[in-house]
């Protein structure tokens, strides 16, 4: 494969809902470009894109697949993405390193929930979109309904480049209003007949051609002037206008395809090669310092590694985009993130698991290499003269979590290593070795996401694992002020131990004033803040420690020991053993001994005084609350809302986007454990959701009583 310049490279993400036919379309493109001699089928497990064993086992795409093809002096770097929301991280990654989204729509359903979710990502990243209406040969295909949905969403910006002459099982012809021709295929698809538009289609074709011309002219001043003068544009002028319309998100072209029969795939590729924005047309990405890095071949070399995978019979394959400059076989580069040096021993252009060796890749291109020593997903390799780092990919928040453990304990250490490797391959698999919960927590995008992880560990790494319901990271706090004192005294021959601490504890909220006195049991305790220390706790919340000692009853050198004792109790609250937070502690009096007082004495005195005061301060349990957004078909909104309310969810509001409703709520994490499974069951797999940590709130009293009983029972079992 020759070296292509950035004016010849098109980077395109193929996206769409599950079942829309993305992988089949990619297979047809590979066939049309000559990369493969025979098209595989998803059902047969022999497609170029879905080549991992787990994908063949389950029959759906799990990983994005990079496909580079040469097409009429252009290089198309296509990334075929999974359609399921469970693998949304692949979509986010692909859209960040490509310049255009090729959105494949199922002609039966049009804009599905999954499609709308992906369009939301596309809009956030400000990527151009081309719509491909696929499966027009299906008996239930409804092209007009799909177009109506698109025009309802995008108005006149959604313009037809093609429309089908006949939809359904007899589909074999489309009218192309850019070229003003009709394409007709034989039953086997492939190369079409190119015909004049039939008389019965001329009026419709002329009307749509005029709309396309007007849409193209709107995006370039000179084209607009020519359009006003002549009333039309040439095909090349229309292509230029559509390209600029794509760049500025002012036009959304619509194409027709039957990927399974290889009908109109070749014409689609011609459009991609001729009209899709060049790499140089799109806004330049910014490095971590906020500076634009333009994809210039004569600039300093920077490679951004966006994907790592362990591939059959090869090992670790690292995929990258050349952000600037050129990379050649034998180049020595520096890892800006890890400080290590790397030599590029081999370079490849890839098509799934097929790898074509190349000697050089230039700015804007996408490629792969193998056997790097110390490169992880998200790392940047630089040549001399630059220190770029890139961190522009924002992965979706996890929404399904399970505790994981090896069935055989001797495999535990090996399992930890495997999980870390899996995270490097797919950063949306989040791994937490929770000291608090004493569990390894695996979080992902859904049940299938974690099911895939399990399959790979058990089948590839031969370790049997089990998933367990994860514990909830509750927190404890107090609801009122309380006072306690404690004397630690120990005498066992020689030097003894002595420390006495008097303290007041109260709930703490950001910005609250420090009172000058407190009253307990009719007695007033005056305090004066001599020193205030605020500690941001690792588990969230704060500890505010106030030294109010007057007259030297406790020497200042013992204050750190008292704080240490308090911290030890914060790590294990008295109600459920959970972390405690948001407490202000005022040490106002105490005693010390000139010989026997030491740090250990005051640490123990502080810990026990705090424990007593905490228990008398109306301790309450806090639970993690999440902001939940559900995207649901309108006809299922009532069921979904009732279900969330049964999960102790608080409904915040609803919005509507045609047939898709958006429901927002706050829901306790405890109630979200298997929500993805329940939501899929309720809606027939037509809904999706996202969730993000919002904060901690007090649990209801009945829930607290239940948690206290469960904790007491667990402590009895341990005893």
| C-alpha R_g of the chain | 32
Q: Six-digit token pair at 120?
A: 């939301």
Residue at 235 is within a domain: no
Residue at 238 is within a domain: no
Backbone angles phi, psi at 580, to 5 degrees: -105, 160
Sign of dihedral through CA atoms 19, 674, 124, 368?
negative
Q: How many CB atoms lie within 10 A of CB 477?
A: 23
Per the CB < 8 A criterion, the answer to whether 205 and 187 are in contact is: no
Percentages (nearest 5) of helix, strand, coil residues in the chain: 30, 30, 35
Q: What is the pLDDT of residue 635?
A: 86
Backbone angles phi, psi at 381, to 5 degrees: -105, 135
Per-residue pLDDT tens over the stretch 4-33: 988 899 999 999 998 899 999 999 999 999
Query: Taking CA 317 as the corner, what is the angle to CA 311 and CA 322, rounded to the nearest 5 degrees?
Result: 145
Does residue 500 sit in the same domain as residue 368? no
Q: Six-digit token pair at 206?
A: 């002329």
C-alpha 500/C-alpha 605 separation (Å) is: 6
Where is the domain boundary, 560, 587, 618?
618
Where is the domain boundary, 577, 603, 618?
618
Which domain CATH number covers 658? 3.30.70.240
Q: What is the pLDDT of residue 719?
A: 53
Does residue 571 sit in the same domain as residue 695? no
End-to-end CA distance of the chain: 70
**Residue stretches of the chain with pLDDT short of 50:** none
Per the CB < 8 A criterion, the answer to whether 408 and 457 are in contact is: no
Per the CB < 8 A criterion, the answer to whether 322 and 364 are in contact is: yes
Kind of pairing between the strands at 193-195 and 181-184? antiparallel
C-alpha 357/C-alpha 164 separation (Å) is: 40
Does residue 634 sit in the same domain as residue 608? no
Of 589, 584, 549, give the one whose Cα is nearest residue 570.
584
Q: What is the pLDDT of residue 718?
A: 60
Which domain CATH number covers 452? 3.30.70.870
Where is the domain boundary, 471, 497, 526?
471
Does residue 171 sit in the same domain as residue 186? yes
Does residue 424 sit in the same domain as residue 354? no
Q: Six-digit token pair at 518?
A: 């407190």
Per-residue pLDDT tens over the stretch 632-671: 888 899 999 999 999 999 999 998 866 678 999 999 999 9
Residue at 295 is within a domain: no
C-alpha 116/C-alpha 16 separation (Å) is: 9
Kind of pairing between the strands at 158-160 and 9-15? unpaired
Of 187, 140, 134, 130, give the one whose Cα is nearest residue 161.
130
Sign of dihedral through CA atoms 334, 340, 343, 344?
negative
Which domain CATH number covers 271? 3.40.50.300
Does residue 613 sit in the same domain as residue 626? no
Per the CB < 8 A criterion, the answer to whether 63 and 52 are in contact is: yes
Does residue 13 sit in the same domain as residue 77? yes
Does residue 612 sit in the same domain as residue 639? no
Backbone angles phi, psi at 442, to 5 degrees: -110, 125
Does residue 13 sit in the same domain as residue 147? yes
Count of structural domains within the chain: 5
Residue at 50 is within a domain: yes
C-alpha 23/C-alpha 533 separation (Å) is: 59
pTM for this prediction: 0.84
Of 234, 363, 370, 224, give the one whose Cα is nearest residue 311.
370
Residue at 224 is within a domain: no
Three-state SS at 103: strand
Does residue 498 sit in the same domain as residue 631? no
C-alpha 692/C-alpha 393 separation (Å) is: 17
C-alpha 284/C-alpha 390 separation (Å) is: 12
* DSSP secondary structure of 646-685: HTT-EEEEEEEETTEEEEEEEEEGGGGTTHHHHHHHHHTT
Residue 512, classified by CB atoms within 10 Å of its CB into exposed (0-12), middle (13-18) or buried (19+), is exposed
Kind of pairing between the strands at 475-477 and 579-580? parallel
Does residue 371 sit in the same domain as residue 420? no
Q: What is the pLDDT of residue 536?
A: 96
| Number of residues written out for the chain | 719
Q: Six-digit token pair at 574?
A: 């008295």
Residue at 712 is within a domain: no
Residues 6+ apart with CB under 8 A from 125: 95, 96
Domain that holds residue 341: 302-382
Residues 6+ apart with CB under 8 A from 222: none
Residue at 423 is within a domain: yes
Does residue 605 sit in the same domain as residue 699? no
Residue at 89 is within a domain: yes
C-alpha 246/C-alpha 253 separation (Å) is: 9
Q: How many CB atoms lie within 10 A of CB 647?
A: 17
Kind of pairing between the strands at 252-256 and 158-160? parallel
Of 116, 265, 167, 38, give the one whose Cα is nearest residue 657.
116
């Amino acid at each position: 494969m020759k070296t292509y310049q950035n004016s010849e490279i098109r980077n395109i993400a193929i996206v769409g809902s599950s079942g829309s036919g993305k992988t089949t379309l990619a297979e047809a493109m590979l066939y049309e470009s000559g990369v493969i001699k025979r098209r595989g089928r998803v059902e047969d497990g022999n497609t170029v894109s879905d080549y991992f064993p787990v994908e063949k086992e389950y029959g759906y795409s799990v990983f994005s697949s990079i496909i580079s093809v040469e097409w009429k002096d252009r290089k198309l770097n296509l990334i075929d993405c999974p359609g399921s929301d469970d693998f949304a991280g692949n979509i986010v990654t692909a859209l960040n390193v490509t310049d255009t989204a090729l959105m494949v729509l199922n002609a039966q359903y049009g804009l599905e929930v999954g499609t709308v979710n992906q369009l939301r990502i596309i809009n956030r990243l400000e990527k151009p979109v081309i719509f491909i209406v696929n499966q027009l040969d299906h008996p239930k295909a409804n092209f007009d309904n799909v177009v109506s949905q698109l025009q309802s969403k995008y108005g006149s910006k959604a313009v037809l480049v093609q429309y089908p002459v006949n939809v359904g099982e007899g589909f074999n012809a489309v009218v192309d209003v850019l070229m003003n021709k009709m394409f007709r295929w034989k039953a086997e698809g492939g190369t079409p007949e190119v015909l004049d538009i039939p008389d019965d289609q001329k009026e419709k074709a002329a009307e749509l051609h005029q709309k396309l011309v007007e849409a193209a002219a709107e995006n370039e001043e000179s084209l607009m002037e020519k359009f006003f003068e002549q009333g039309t544009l040439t095909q090349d002028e229309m292509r230029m206008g559509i390209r600029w319309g794509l760049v500025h998100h002012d036009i959304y072209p619509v194409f027709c395809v039957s990927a399974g029969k290889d009908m109109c795939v070749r014409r689609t590729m011609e459009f991609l090669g001729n009209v899709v924005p060049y790499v140089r047309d799109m806004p330049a990405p910014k490095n971590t310092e906020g500076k634009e890095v333009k994809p210039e071949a004569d600039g300093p070399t920077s490679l951004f590694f966006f994907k790592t995978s362990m591939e059959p019979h090869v090992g670790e394959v690292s995929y990258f985009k050349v952000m600037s400059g050129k990379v050649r076989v034998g180049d020595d580069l520096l890892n800006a993130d890890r400080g290590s040096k790397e030599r590029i021993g081999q370079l490849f252009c890839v098509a799934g698991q097929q790898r074509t060796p190349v000697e050089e890749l230039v700015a804007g291109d996408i490629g792969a290499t193998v056997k790097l020593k110390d490169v992880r997903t998200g790392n940047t390799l630089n040549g001399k003269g630059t220190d770029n780092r890139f961190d522009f990919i924002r992965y979706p928040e996890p929404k399904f979590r399970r505790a994981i453990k090896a069935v055989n304990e001797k495999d535990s250490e090996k399992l930890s290593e495997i999980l870390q490797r899996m995270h490097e391959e797919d950063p949306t698999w989040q791994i937490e070795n929770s000291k608090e919960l004493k569990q390894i927590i695996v979080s992902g995008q859904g049940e299938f996401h974690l099911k895939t992880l399990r399959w790979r560990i058990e089948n590839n790494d031969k370790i049997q694992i089990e998933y367990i319901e994860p514990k909830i990271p509750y927190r404890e706090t107090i609801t009122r002020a309380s006072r306690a004192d404690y004397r630690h005294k120990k005498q066992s021959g020689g030097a003894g131990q002595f420390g006495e601490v008097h303290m007041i504890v109260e709930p703490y909220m950001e910005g609250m004033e420090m009172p000058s006195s407190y009253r307990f049991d009719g007695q007033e305790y005056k305090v004066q803040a001599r020193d205030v220390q605020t500690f941001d706790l690792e588990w969230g919340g704060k500890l505010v420690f106030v030294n109010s000692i007057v007259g030297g009853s406790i020497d200042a050198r013992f204050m750190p020991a008292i704080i240490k004792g308090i911290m030890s109790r914060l790590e294990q609250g008295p109600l459920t053993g959970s972390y405690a937070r948001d407490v202000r502690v005022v040490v106002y009096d105490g005693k010390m001994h000139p010989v026997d007082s030491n740090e250990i004495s005051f640490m123990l005195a502080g810990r026990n005084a705090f424990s007593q005061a905490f228990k008398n301060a109306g301790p309450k349990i806090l639970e993690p609350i999440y902001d939940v957004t559900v995207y649901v078909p309108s006809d299922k909104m009532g069921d979904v809302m009732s279900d969330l309310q049964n999960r102790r969810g608080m409904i915040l509001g609803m919005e509507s986007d045609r047939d898709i409703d958006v429901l927002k709520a706050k829901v306790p994490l405890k109630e979200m454990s298997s929500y993805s499974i329940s939501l899929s069951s309720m809606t027939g797999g037509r809904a999706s959701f996202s969730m993000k940590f919002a904060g901690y709130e007090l649990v209801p009293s009945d829930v607290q009583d239940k948690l206290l009983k469960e904790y007491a029972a667990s402590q009895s079992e341990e005893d």
